[in-house]
Chains A and B, each alone.
Chain A
Amino acid sequence: MITRRSILALTGATILATTPMIAQAQDWQPRKPIDFVIMAGPGGGADQIARYIQSVAEQKDLTNRPLVPNNKGGGSGAEALIHVSGASDPDHTILVTLNSFFTTPLRQENLGIDIQAFTPVAMMGVDPFVLWVHKDSGITTFDDYVAKVKEMGGEYVMGGTGAGQEDSIVIAFMSGAYDLDIKYIPYDGGGAVAKDLAGQQIMASVNNPAEAKGFYEAGDFTPLLAFSDERMPAYPDVPTIKELGHDFSYYNQRAVVGAPGMSDEAAAYYQTLFTEIYNSDEWQSYLTSESLSPLWMDASEQRDYWALQVENHQKLLAALGE
């Protein structure tokens, strides 16, 4: 134990597991409110999660200074990445990410963002995607849906959060696999997409369950197809695209990362904090009720995961022609 700590002090390595750092976490405490940046606009999945996390931290009094949510969704999260990269106080700046953490730097190389420079904090879970239609469309199965899209001949309208964003990757795969011609309207967040599906301004959407759940429970939305590895417990009757013979699944990461240049002590503090939030009953029940899958990783595993995701998204975006 002693040697391990002295190595830590010597090298300043961030690669060690979180457990031995708990003792150290007491050393560093935030001295001012924590800038809790969200890579998306208000109302969508990432925003809901960030506000839930903030509320859990407040309710259980886990931090001596508050987490202050700060929505910076502009430019598919580029606004947030630049804000956090240039943070004047990296020890008090953390970011709630989604997959645009991988795709935005790939699509906009001129931003000069290197995601490996960020500090891993916690992987809170991964969020699956589901294809939804409005109940009044009369479509009840994925086969109906495919038939309807083909019949409309390019006039079938779907909404999403923008080209190169998570849902557009899913829609692109689905369109390719089933030879569908879809008109895609970009919105500024998953919440706005779900609202316009409820108002039938668009005909279908690929939303996270958390974003569509309210409308589903009210009977307005019908889920047709899930893009998860297995059927979701909350939607046992909804088939996965894997069952239909396509080896594809896609999840949105719900992770928290620290600003580049965050000190090891601060990183350890946040890792301990979010481990605690992750293990809380509140978060565990949120994972269940909102159909998220757990995917716990320590700091070094997160870095490997980032590298893998960047590689995967490079391929996906290339296939999209981005």
Chain B
Amino acid sequence: MEVLSLLADGMLLSLQPLNLMMILIGVTVGLFIGAMPGLGSVNGVAILLPVTFLVPPGSAIIFLAAIYYGAMYGGAISSITLGIPGASTAVATTFDGRPLARQGKASLALVTAALASFVGGTVANILFTLFAPILATVALSFGPPEVFALMLLAFATFVGLGGDDIPKTVFSICFGLVLGAVGFDQISGAPRLVLFDYNGFLQGIGFLVLAIGVYGIGEMFWTIEQTRGDVTTTTPKMTAKGMAADTKEATKRGWKGTMIGSFLGFFVGILPAAGATPGSLMSYGVAKMVSRRPAEFGKGHPDGVAAPEAANNSASTGSMLPMLTLGIPGSPTTAILLGGMVIWGLVPGPRLFVDETEFVWGLIGSFYISNLAAVLMNLAFIPVFIWMLRMPFTILAPMIFVLSIAGGYAATRDMFDIWLMVGFGLGAFFLRKFDYPLAPAVLAIVLGPIAEPTLRQSLLLSSGDPSIFFTRPVAGPITIIALILIFLPGIKLVRRMRDKRKEPA
């Protein structure tokens, strides 16, 4: 196997002292950048890019990839312990991670996140190693109709869930779609929904602004209201024995989510339009859909932590693929990596795998090593994160508030976003009181801006004929599955009502 010997060379390369040091520093830095709300891998890589000019290109990209990995692990930490998404890729982790932490099972959530991330990363690395060139072709075969069909499927997984109140879910999705449409229309270039003609709306509503508002600030209000403010949240204990038990439970109850996240996340990651955030949200939806106990999702199911965490790691490896093979970044972070590669004198694109074998395999090898380093580092730090949770809520609440504000500001450096975020926090609090699910709105604001232009591009391609979504070989089956999932609950409902009517007769 030629691939295996190339990979072995690559791993040896990344185990050289300089590169190994780069990996360890990168992973640690990434872990903390990821854990800081608002700062994600994008910021980490952007800030540290200049540092990499001091070392050879191979070591430089290994360093950046290690930060990228570390940040993917780190994002879960604040999502679970504080309920503030540490990065956009970890928003879905709050859905179940936070409830687990409130039940005093933060260590279970953290262990699940770490293990799922590791498996996700490993699966992605293996897929990448074995099938990189083939997968690049798959990414290319996804035109606008295929991407739209995939987005439809993502929405379907959120609508078609038993247990939830469907009209409220649909309302939540529509609310998110409207928010996602604010700003400039990509196709015509015209401004839309610029409320009160206020310029701040022109740049659109940032996804992180909504997510931090809903999950950071909204969650804080919610906790205060529920507990009347006089609680010491939970008193989780952390022992070696406890950790072993957590590992056992994480494996038992989180393996399904991990598997779904690993494969789905990777696949979504290799599509240049998507990236790790849609990948993790979609995996959460699918994990909930196939689960035997979907009602437990959102209330603290390990699968709900495992799926998005496995997916965001897997997708981050996946999004390297279009960057390296096509020269097209699959995520904002890879866009920055791409800039770095150009200055190091490497030309990303179809020739890279042929012309720069040593660089490519050194990088792939470093993925494996970084992933291993990240999981060990993460597990080692878990007691520290748990310790944070022991603080009384009176101290924790202002901390959450400050971190949320700082996180919301860091992304765009615009005060307007902060007011918007606080507004979303209040809105989320009231919607939650009326039992509206908020996750679908968050999903919609991420996927809406991908779905809308692809829908319109597809219809332009077909001169307005919607059959384009059914007749193309890849788009067709995806669309049909999505439609079945969307209408299934409706059909069930009608049948149940008919049965009821029959009974008294």
Contact = CB atoms under 8 A, between A and B. Distances in A.
Interface of A: 35, 42-43, 47-48, 51-52, 54-56, 58-59, 66, 68-69, 71-72, 74-76, 78-79, 82-83, 86, 104, 107-108, 157, 162-164, 183-188, 191-192, 194-196, 198-201, 213-215, 217-218, 220, 282
A59 to B, nearest CB: 5
A137 B208 CA distance: 43
B142 interface: yes
A215 B349 contact: yes
B342 A74 contact: no
B475 to A, nearest CB: 11
Given A164-B189, A187-B457, A86 B184 contact: no
A185 B453 CA distance: 10
8 contacts: A35-B413, A51-B338, A69-B339, A75-B185, A86-B199, A157-B461, A183-B463, A191-B327
Contacts of A187: 457
Interface stretch (B63-71, B227-235, B329-337): B329-337
B497 interface: no
Contacts of B257: none
Interface in B48-102: 49-50, 53
A105 B339 CA distance: 29
B347 A214 contact: yes
A42 B275 CA distance: 13
B255 to A, nearest CB: 35
B203 A185 contact: no
B144 A185 contact: yes
Contact of B202 (A68, A82, A201): A82
> Closest 3 CB pairs between A and B?
A214-B349, A51-B339, A75-B184
Interface of B: 46, 49-50, 53, 139-144, 183-191, 199, 202-204, 272-273, 322, 326-329, 332, 335-336, 338-340, 342-343, 347-351, 413, 453, 457, 460-461, 463
Contacts, number: 143
Contacts of A56: 343
Contact of A199 (B141, B188, B204, B461): B141
A66 B342 CA distance: 18
Given A42-B332, A214-B351, A188 B186 contact: yes
Contacts of B273: 192
Contacts of A54: 339
Residue of A104, A107, A218 contacting most chain B CB atoms (<10 Å)? A218
Contact of B140 (A104, A183, A199, A217): A199
B143 A42 contact: no
Given A51-B339, A108-B190, 19 more contacts: A35-B413, A48-B342, A51-B342, A52-B343, A54-B339, A66-B50, A74-B186, A74-B202, A74-B204, A78-B184, A86-B199, A157-B461, A163-B189, A185-B457, A185-B460, A187-B457, A188-B453, A195-B322, A218-B351
Contacts of B463: 183
Contacts of A220: 350
Contact of B183 (A79, A164, A183, A213): A79
Contact of A82 (B46, B144, B199, B329): B199
